[in-house]
Amino acid sequence: MSISGIFLILFLIVHLTVNSMIVFDDSGALFNQAAHFMATDPIIGVIEPILAIGLIVHFLFASIITFKNQRKRDVNYAGLGRYKKLDAAAGSNWPSRNMYILGGLILIFLVIHLINFFWKMKFTGDPLLHTPTGLEGDVENAYNLVTTKFIEWKWLVGIYVVGALALGLHLYHGVWSAFQTLGWSNRKWRDIWNVIGLIITILFAGGFAFIPLFVMIQSMV
């Protein structure tokens, strides 16, 4: 769990970097170049299936652990009904107890996300991709596809914001938890990981939510 998780975080850093180019360049040239590179570079081509495997491993392990762990308590506490919010949560935060649900949300989001963009760029294509980019060579206009969708389908922006939030909460527990599981933690490092986790949470939840919002709002102004 921890190793695949850390691997996926590394991917997310790259992904966020590429996405942020939407914000930094209104013409879309920067983003298109990056997207083109990601789509055609042979090294990325190798990494892509590894990434997919990482994701599957992460998901499978999570499923096994979650279902196994759920079976370790046959009768649940009645006392929790009334006090669930007050007391039982006192020691552990909500995300830590709901990683699988958060992960599930992220997975649903991922499917929507892939159908909308990745699938089209990679396989089916889309008329929006074949608009001029002003760049040399056969570069698809990914920027056009992304921004147009966000402007046309306001609900899509909502899904992205929810997805980003789920991802953030998932990481809030995931970062420290991964290092704890690997034994790279003690009283002091625990605080450090928690701060790093919080930074990553804000960065990723904020970053991934900000981009579609930015595109949408920019179009409305």
* 71, 124, 136, 138: residue in contact with another protein (rule CB under 8 A): 71
Nearest to another protein of 5, 28 (CB atom): 5
Rule CB under 8 A: say whether 191 interacts with another protein: no
Distance of CA 220 to the CA centre of its chain: 26
**Residue tagged 């495997």 (tokens):** 53
Cβ contact 9:175 at 8 Å: yes
Minimum CB–partner distance for residue 81 and another protein (Å): 8
Minimum CB–partner distance for residue 125 and another protein (Å): 42
| Site for another protein, residues 72 to 101, rule: CB under 8 A | 72-84, 87-88, 90-93, 96-97, 99
List, in order, residues 6 or more apart from 2 with CB less than 8 Å away: 177, 178, 179, 181, 182
Nearest to another protein of 1, 135 (CB atom): 1
* 43, 187, 220, 221: residue in contact with another protein (rule CB under 8 A): 187
Minimum CB–partner distance for residue 65 and another protein (Å): 6
Minimum CB–partner distance for residue 156 and another protein (Å): 32
Minimum CB–partner distance for residue 66 and another protein (Å): 9
Binding-site string for another protein from residue 7 to residue 36, where x marks contact by CB under 8 A and - marks none: ------------------------------
CA distances from 106 to 55, 99, 185, 200 (A): 11, 10, 27, 16
Rule CB under 8 A: say whether 67 interacts with another protein: no
Rule CB under 8 A: say whether 63 interacts with another protein: no
Nearest to another protein of 71, 124 (CB atom): 71
Rule CB under 8 A: say whether 124 interacts with another protein: no
Interface residue list for another protein (CB under 8 A): 65, 68-69, 71-84, 87-88, 90-93, 96-97, 99, 173, 176-177, 180-187, 189-190
